[in-house]
Structure 1
């Protein structure tokens, strides 16, 4: 066995060992960290005139950029404007567009001293962040008091955080006790902050009462009352008393109630009913403090004797959110009963291997696999040659997957939102891939050839003979595969996005191993290799026939480019493709000579210039009329539909997403799906992510989706959205929409 073969075998074994040794790297959803461990702060005042603050943020936690506040605790110190890195852009349902941090961040704070002889510096550093997976909680603002020695080591004086409540209770971390010096008072539990009662006025009406301590208030427009039993009884229009006008930075002008509010609610159709069941949802805040998420209570009232019992409408009690923040509903599928469950490290490795293996069957990868098929057939003459082809192809796949994955993870860690396949939103990348596919097809058609081996074709580099050709065929397979999201991939990549770089590296290597696995089996299992047909003259015909999937891939990419930048962009890339084809034809015909190289180079420069012009074109007009019964996605329209109690099916898609198009053909564009929408009263809402779109990117971030497709079903009458799997079946969609529509 060659040394390279041993290296690959050792790599596979190492992945297995790491899968056993590193399960502790996965975040245990139940172990909520104290605030100072979730956001570990250190400082450095060794440089006079400048303080550096460094936060190390634990996995699955994030810090708000706009919630970092730094104040001088001494009157003789003047602080300058802190310098903070750009954060990851996120659309928060309540805060709007915000920036958040993951991983490690550093802030620089300049300062001046009134007394040059001052040796110490006292700072109050306030920050705020959240735990973004189940159980989803947000911390109240936390203040750390720093006593720094100028020019020397720094000493941190941190408040002692309150211990986390048991995970089963769903309680948030509410900060330190009020008696801790310098720490804000602990907000009250929801049941104490909003004491709820239900009384029977008569057989035709009930009275709901909320009592709040000082500085707590209740929103009028966030209250919903639903009769659950008996059938035929409904709640009439509540008779709200006059409230206090309040301008809310999240909800605009609204009405709130302080102290106590009594709400008469008529019962329509109660007739001779002896009891009635109500579900009551409400929301409120502590003034200049936290905002609680929606609280739900179930009420059973005996209309005959006037007794009532009040319990939680849900099993889990609501948790307090951070100051001025009501938490975004946790995505279904992230621990709330969706089609995809949260995963740990070992499960992520397994899902990555499965996802990479299934990726071989996706239509976006099949054209490039035809290249590898020719190589494998050619290697039938020698088991050693088959192993060499398999190993070098695997190396190309692993390197490309690791590089692509870590580039995306690195960009996200630097504070920029990017998802899997986002490179296909760039016209320059689309045009370049058109050229690559055209060059591959021309090479397989015999227009030009670099090296004499049949199997060693792939692109300019992949067309070279020997290991280089196999390696770059693997690279090309990954590049073309990147717009596809196969089953099992989503959870694995989501785990990688939130994991430390070393763990993300292992996840992407596992994806690569899955993609390369069929060819590794052929190369290293002689019994499988013997099933392949023997090489012969027929392979030349096969190679030329397999060129046509490459041309079709180029046509598909041109269609995507037309959607992004219009017909002008397509014409430019077609013209550049003709120049490239002429250059390759001339290269294959002339075989050397200074004039030949000059002519070829000029044509290639012309093709590149066409791409550069395409890069500068404006986005194409998107004013099209939907023919599939969908409406365009917007957060405002979605919120309006949910307020009106309408079930909604949200489809996040892109023209370059092959999985999306397969789902549309199989399910979403069928008459059965349209009938299902009518039968369940569901609104079909579609978001097009073909081009860069910050609003859709924020929605993907909210549901921890690594890219498109993303399907979310919102139930009738409110409630969390349910995230469906990336590959749809009609039966699964039908079950989800019927459940959302209710009985």
Structure 2
């Protein structure tokens, strides 16, 4: 293994820090507020033309057919809008071709009125690719030909524009199907004992993942650099490392959580994502020894002199190594960390959130503490295997780079990228090396794993070439439509409600669990829920045990908006569960599209809870 300079590792860790911030902030925000997803600026030029510019967040889109422009006082005061061509595609659920805009949209609107002011009403609508459709949005601007420049938004009473206030729905819409939701439930209980034990358990599980476990022998060899150490000193050295990791990791988590929405919005811009991905790929190449990241010799010498004062064995140096390792393991903890980050960003309860992250970091340090108590007797010998560990980190950096580009890449390019990554993993697992009698059983197992990666890569390539867009199910588009049509779809009947009064009356007069579904004709994800999830026979069977209500918010009327505001929803689809007493089960919410199997498990869990309540 080549000797790595301190600058090599510091540069690598700096890149991982940027990646860590992205992962943490992205986990805290699943859906953007519509004012952030579709940022609109309006300006009147000297040539009597209104320039309308939308900045569309990655992973979101605007529909051309939903754009409309109107001069409220007199329609003749404006001319026809000049719309650019959008991206055309046939939506499988709507069964028709739609035209959408991504990233940026610029529209020119001629103004015919040379004198006097009038109100320009603009309507538009968009969706998130992840499965949330926003209601139609209306903006009003006061236009005065005598005063060119940026237009001020009007305050008409019947405007349906959605404010930029961040509701609590994002924090409470997680379904109890992952560690992130369990983390949220523990945090909201505000019981320090429960929070500490749960996050300590999360950390212990994470310490056994491929991202963290290889660091144990590497960092432990630095900790016991003094040579022969007693069990007591070995434990104290390991504890110093653990505290350094825990304290810095907690600080980083709290900082990312407090930055919350602002950091997430800034890091979702395409050029930022591409820059981060390029940085990670560059760092990965250095892990494969394609080149060495080095500073000029003068600075390198100074760094070497400084690093000589922090060689393994002393408490301060071990504490620093623990702090540095917190940056390395950050990307591996996105799922349980999400709940803590959401909680901190919305409640600003740094004490509870920080304690949770501190407990998680201690859990991740348990294997190291055990190694410290053993006084180094459990450490493996250094050797060629450390090169393999370094290559593994390089592959992880490339994988995170591809994941980071998910909102930017079109479907075919994303599948191709994951296919290339899988084939690269197969190559490093020696799948193409000749098989000889000298290959050990472990080597044969590694090559078998490489064959699995190779097969995954081929499937991703086939999916990309055949029009697929789902990296998890690259060939799913080939059979999903035929399966839906071939099966006899069970009939699921919803009773329509039109306002809050009808909902409250139904809840008062019903002694059974209730499911409320928010639906709209223009909502693509609603169609997916109807055709792919509710049509599932097992799902329909479970739904038969509930009183099914549906709020059709297609018209986006005042009553529709009041219903969505009551539950802090941006738009459909949204599913709210109530217990037999008419009380909402906050953690029973589903926002966006959810596939049949996951939705079935979700229903079964809460139906079991209802039965236990009734007993």
**What interval of TM-score do these two structures reach, taking the shorter chain for normalisation?**
0.3 to 0.5
Larger Rg: 1
TM-score between the two structures when normalised by the length of structure 2: 0.41
TM-score normalized with structure 1 length: 0.35
Which structure's relative contact order is higher, taking Cα pairs within 8 Å and 6+ residues apart?
2
